[in-house]
Amino acid sequence: MQCSASTMAITNRGTSLLVLLSAIVAALLSSQLVFQHPPCLEWLLNLDFLSFTSSISPNSYGSGHHRRHRAPKTNDTDICDDLPPGFPPADTDTTSIFCVDRNGCCSFTTVQSAVDAVAVLSQKRSIVWINKGIYYEKVTIPKTKPNITFQGQGLYTTGIAWNDTANSSHGTFYSASVAVFGANFIAKNISFINVAPIPNPGDVGAQAVAIRVGADQAAFWGCGFFGAQDTIHDDRGRHYFKECHIQGSIDFIFGDGRSLYESCQMISIASPVAAGLKTIDGTVTAHGRASGDENTGFSFVNCSIGGTGRIWLGRAWRPFSRVVFANTFMSEIIAPEGWNDFGDPGRDQTVFYGEYNCSGAGASLTMRVPYAQKLNNTQAAPFLNTSFIDGDQWLQPLDSNLLF
Ligand SMILES: *[C@@H]1O[C@H](CO)[C@@H](O)[C@H](O)[C@H]1NC(C)=O
Ligand SMILES: *[C@@H]1O[C@H](CO)[C@@H](O)[C@H](O)[C@H]1NC(C)=O
Ligand SMILES: *[C@@H]1O[C@H](CO)[C@@H](O)[C@H](O)[C@H]1NC(C)=O
Ligand SMILES: *[C@@H]1O[C@H](CO)[C@@H](O)[C@H](O)[C@H]1NC(C)=O
Ligand SMILES: *[C@@H]1O[C@H](CO)[C@@H](O)[C@H](O)[C@H]1NC(C)=O
Ligand SMILES: *[C@@H]1O[C@H](CO)[C@@H](O)[C@H](O)[C@H]1NC(C)=O
Ligand SMILES: *[C@@H]1O[C@H](CO)[C@@H](O)[C@H](O)[C@H]1NC(C)=O
Ligand SMILES: *[C@@H]1O[C@H](CO)[C@@H](O)[C@H](O)[C@H]1NC(C)=O
Ligand SMILES: *[C@@H]1O[C@H](CO)[C@@H](O)[C@H](O)[C@H]1NC(C)=O
């Protein structure tokens, strides 16, 4: 997908900095001062991030604690007008609501402070409703806080961003802007972003995770994931991603999760490779199944892969890496060989890399590595629906009653 200012569905309500910045980005785009393929939020966020961090520390948005008063009217337009009247609604027997607005229009000004306020081991669902804006903070949902929902207002208008790298956080696993260790996590219409500088080829320590999903039974609807190297750490457990937008370059979905990606767009921001060169500068997946006894794997159904660079579908981070692409459109950025064994030919015998009914210039199987499998209907069937992640045991249908 080509990104343009018009895809950023930003309304005129409120006085969000995003509105201003989107105008700047639109101006930049129209004067063609930015990349040929502007990565969707990247410029917007970098601008926003730098302009903020140069003047004030990201934490100076406030302690984030219960501030129930509404921000003062400075003008006829109340900056709190985009909160629906009577919002947030009262808690019920089954749900508690935690309202986050960075202008101080409801209870919390940071996402982490709302998470901190959720009761430990609550069996109720705790809905953290997050108003438009970019929240510059590193957020952790601990293991003791299951059943949390993050409800944003749109993936181009609501996001959580930080800029740790493997270097700055002492390891890729700790670089995530948002880390989820509580089970039964749900996110809707929100973006998870790492704004660390995009690594140059050969850079060391520049991995920068946007989200680490290190808990079982997590589901994402209409979410954005923006980063470069290692955007989604799909660490462990069963996960579902539907209609999500995932941007990255090297290994942009990695980990040992068992996950279904349905109707998602994967956008590579790897550098364009000149015609004639055989350079590979990115990989969609690096699945980390370590043994044949594990039932983990990544399955992509009805997805699309586009963007820039020349990339592999996957490389074997661990010997039993397992990935399937079904009914997925692949642009010409996919290298003809498709897959890579991480320099260990022994892994050719143990990985499971399947393709089924894919389309597009990158989907041709004629030049694929010998261990890539063209799956038949029977072989593909276990990967094609939510049964792959035992969805009947835990995956709730999208509950529109919970959308405010
Ligand atoms: C309040 O702000 C709006 C939009 O920014 C502007 O059009 C209007 O003139 C302002 N009103 C006053 C009283 O300053
Ligand atoms: C809350 O989490 C627990 C443990 O993960 C789970 O058993 C329970 O069904 C969840 N409750 C809700 C309302 O999602
Ligand atoms: C993150 O941003 C801050 C503020 O601009 C900067 O000081 C810091 O070096 C950045 N960290 C990384 C790892 O880029
Ligand atoms: C996401 O936002 C769109 C546009 O505002 C809305 O139509 C849709 O219902 C929302 N979906 C979810 C899951 O919140
Ligand atoms: C990470 O740290 C190593 C060792 O100090 C250094 O060589 C490298 O340039 C750093 N990488 C980044 C992206 O800052
Ligand atoms: C194969 O993919 C096409 C789209 O390219 C789709 O229309 C068709 O339903 C798929 N076939 C199966 C068996 O899923
Ligand atoms: C699918 O492939 C498997 C493994 O090669 C084979 O055993 C099976 O007979 C095939 N099924 C169909 C329906 O072609
Ligand atoms: C998923 O597909 C399998 C194999 O085709 C089938 O047995 C199962 O009923 C399907 N599950 C759902 C939830 O559609
Ligand atoms: C994928 O698309 C096909 C054809 O539109 C549809 O029948 C199938 O249910 C979709 N599968 C998933 C997992 O979304």
pTM exceeding the 0.75 threshold for the entire prediction: yes
- Percent of the chain at pLDDT > 90 equals 73
Q: Which of 83-97, 136-150, 269-283 has the highest mean pLDDT?
A: 136-150
- Ligand whose nearest atom lies closest to the CA of 10: 4
Q: Is the CB of 140 under 6 A from ligand 9?
A: no
Which is the closest atom of ligand 2 to the Cα of 122?
1
Q: What is the mean pLDDT of residues 112-131?
A: 96
For a ligand 4 pocket test, name from 82, 130, 189 the mutation site with the most ligand atoms within 8 angstroms of its C-beta.
189
Average pLDDT over residues 336-347: 97
Q: Hey, what are 366's tokens?
A: 């004629």
Cβ–ligand 7 contact at 374 (below 6 Å)? no
CA dist., res. 283 & res. 275, Å (int): 19
Residues 61-95: tens digit of each pLDDT? 333 444 445 555 565 667 888 888 888 889 999 99
Q: What is the DSSP letter of 387?
A: G
- Contact predicate 102/133, CB 8 Å: yes
Instruction: With cut-offs at 50, 70 and 90, classify the pLDDT of residue 19.
Output: very low
**pLDDT at 24 exceeding the cut of 50:** no
pLDDT in tens, 327-339: 999 999 999 999 9
Q: Read off the pLDDT of each residue in 309-325 and give the average, rounded to a whole number.
A: 98
Beta bridge partners of 324: 299, 354
368 lines ligand 4 (CB under 6 A): no
The two three-digit tokens of residue 370, written as one number? 């010998």
pLDDT of residue 40: 46
pLDDT (mean) for 6-19 = 30
Q: Which residue, judged by its Cα, is nearest atom 1 of ligand 7?
A: 376
pLDDT averaged over the chain?
A: 84
- Residue 331 burial class via C-beta count within 10 angstroms: exposed 0-12, middle 13-18, buried 19 and up: middle
pLDDT band with cut points at 50, 70 and 90 for residue 56: very low
Residues tagged active-site: 251
Distance CA 317, CA 207 (A): 15
198-229 pLDDT, tens digit per residue, is 998 789 999 999 999 999 999 999 999 999 99
C-beta 360 within 6 A of ligand 5: no
Q: What is the mean pLDDT of residues 308-330?
A: 98
Q: What is the pLDDT of residue 82?
A: 83
pLDDT beyond 70 at 18: no
What separation in angstroms does the CA of 102 have from each of 12, 62, 89, 253, 374?
Answer: 17, 9, 19, 30, 49
SS (H, E, C) 128-171: EEECCEEEECCEEECCCCCCEEEECCCCCCEEEEECCCHHHHCC
Q: Indicate if ligand 9 lies below 6 Å from the C-beta of 301.
A: yes
Which mutation among 45, 163, 209 tests ligand 3's pocket best, with the greatest number of atoms within 8 A of CB? 163
Main-chain phi, psi angles of 21, to 5 degrees: -70, -35
Distance separating alpha carbons of residues 1 and 29, to the nearest angstrom: 15
The pLDDT of residue 50 is above 50: no
DSSP conformation class of 84: P
